[in-house]
């Protein structure tokens, strides 16, 4: 029945190509994908969601297009393994354009507008009524992604949970109306899921538009510069002053990335008491992050010299996904009783 060689459960994850991945992506989702990859228990697809990126980049198609290969390099850099993962380009899969046409009729306008993620994004982007229809509609498109792959497991952070809820509703409605056809996906909340990492300025979450990111591809020099300019505690002027750990970006990053938790607890106590300088902590954080990123930089450089191979990974993964998603589309049309010519 399945085109996949194995009976492994299918996992789908995806990112919008609109720039490079940063260490917030690493902490929030890429590290978890590496863990899932290491189990060998799943058939994993990692999709470059260029169609979804276009829903708010219609005037900047080049930014989306030029991010595709960058994203591939970031994936390979962090250690996603082309022997274990199928890399997929969303826009090369016709079924993902066609399924939404059917699903759209199963979702009401009011339900779409109630989606908390979309509501939030509309607000932060300042769209109001001028929101592109494609943007409001992207939860339906995402439901098409998930169901086309027959993904039963979708690792999500908190901000994506409503997307999965919406997908599950569409699946339930479809299966009730047309018979058991689509796989009901489960959200997989990463066990060690860390809260959204703040930017180096401490002003909000790490985000390209705020210019407060540490990128996976950053050089050691860039990394050092960014760590050294991190927001700490403005009241902590002299080394002997007591300092605040809460809201201190350096400590938030140490919490997320520094493995020696016992040492970290001691540092926090000492900082609160006074006598521990910011520079000592920043050096420690720089070393810790550089240890993580240095092998990633190396892998990135390796693959950047072999772009033909990188493009081949994407082509081959997409070909596999094409068979799989076309098959789902055929089953959907058959279940609905669409006229076949």
List interacting residues with ligand TRP (CB under 6 A): 12-16, 49, 52, 142, 145-146, 154, 160
The answer to whether the beta carbons of residues 140 and 167 sit under 8 Å apart is no
- Closer residue to ligand TRP (CB): 53 or 285: 53
Strands (E), the chain: 9-15, 42-48, 85-89, 153-155, 186-188
- Closer residue to ligand TRP (CB): 20 or 248: 20
Return the bridge partners of 9, or none.
42
Please provide the DSSP assignment of 189-229 as one string. --TTPPPPPBPTTSSSB--GGGT---BTT--HHHHHHHHHT
- Closer residue to ligand TRP (CB): 96 or 288: 96
Which position's Cβ is nearest ligand TRP? 14
- Closer residue to ligand TRP (CB): 21 or 276: 21
Q: How far is the CB of 86 from ligand TRP (least distance, A)?
A: 14
Comparing CA positions, the residue from 283, 285, 281, 278 lying closest to residue 233 is 278
- Closer residue to ligand TRP (CB): 12 or 76: 12
The answer to whether the beta carbons of residues 19 and 73 sit under 8 Å apart is no
Q: How far is the CB of 119 from ligand TRP (least distance, A)?
A: 15
Comparing CA positions, the residue from 113, 161, 116 lying closest to residue 137 is 113
Tokens standing for residue 317: 């993964």
The DSSP call for residue 234 is T
Q: How far is the CB of 51 from ligand TRP (least distance, A)?
A: 8
Q: How far is the CB of 143 from ligand TRP (least distance, A)?
A: 9
Q: How far is the CB of 175 from ligand TRP (least distance, A)?
A: 19
- Closer residue to ligand TRP (CB): 52 or 248: 52
Q: How far is the CB of 132 from ligand TRP (least distance, A)?
A: 15
Cα–Cα dist 285/258, whole Å: 8
Q: Which residue has the tokens 């109306």?
A: 177
């Amino acid at each position: 029945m399945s085109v996949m060689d194995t009976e492994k459960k299918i996992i789908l994850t995806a990112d919008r190509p609109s720039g490079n991945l940063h260490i917030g992506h690493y902490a929030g989702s890429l590290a978890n994908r590496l863990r899932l990859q290491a189990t060998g228990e799943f058939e994993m697809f990692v999709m470059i969601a260029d169609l979804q990126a276009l829903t708010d980049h219609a005037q900047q198609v080049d930014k989306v297009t030029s991010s595709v290969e960058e994203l591939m390099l970031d994936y390979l850099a962090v250690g996603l393994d082309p022997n274990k993962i199928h890399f997929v380009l969303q826009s090369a899969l016709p079924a993902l354009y066609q399924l939404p046409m059917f699903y759209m009729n199963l979702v009401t306008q009011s339900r779409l507008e109630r989606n908390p993620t979309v509501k939030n994004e509309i607000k932060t982007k300042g769209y109001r009524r001028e929101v592109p229809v494609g943007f409001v509609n992207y939860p339906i498109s995402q439901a098409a992604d998930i169901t086309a792959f027959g993904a039963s497991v979708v690792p999500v952070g908190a901000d994506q949970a409503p997307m999965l809820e919406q997908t599950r509703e569409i699946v339930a409605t479809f299966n009730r109306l047309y018979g058991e056809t689509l796989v009901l996906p489960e959200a997989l909340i990463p066990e060690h899921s860390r809260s959204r990492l703040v930017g180096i300025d401490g002003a909000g979450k790490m985000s390209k538009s705020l210019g407060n990111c540490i990128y996976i591809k950053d050089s050691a020099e860039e990394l050092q510069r960014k760590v050294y300019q991190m927001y700490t505690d403005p009241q902590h002027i002299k080394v002997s002053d007591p300092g605040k750990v809460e809201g201190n970006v350096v400590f938030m990053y140490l919490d997320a990335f520094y493995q020696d938790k016992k040492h970290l607890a001691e540092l926090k106590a000492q900082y609160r008491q006074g006598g521990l300088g910011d520079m000592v902590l920043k050096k420690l954080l720089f070393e810790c992050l550089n240890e993580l990123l240095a092998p990633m930089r190396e892998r990135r450089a390796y693959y950047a010299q072999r772009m033909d191979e990188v493009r081949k990974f994407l082509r081959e993964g997409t070909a596999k996904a094409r068979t799989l998603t076309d098959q789902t589309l055929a089953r959907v049309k058959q279940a609905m009783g669409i006229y076949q010519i």
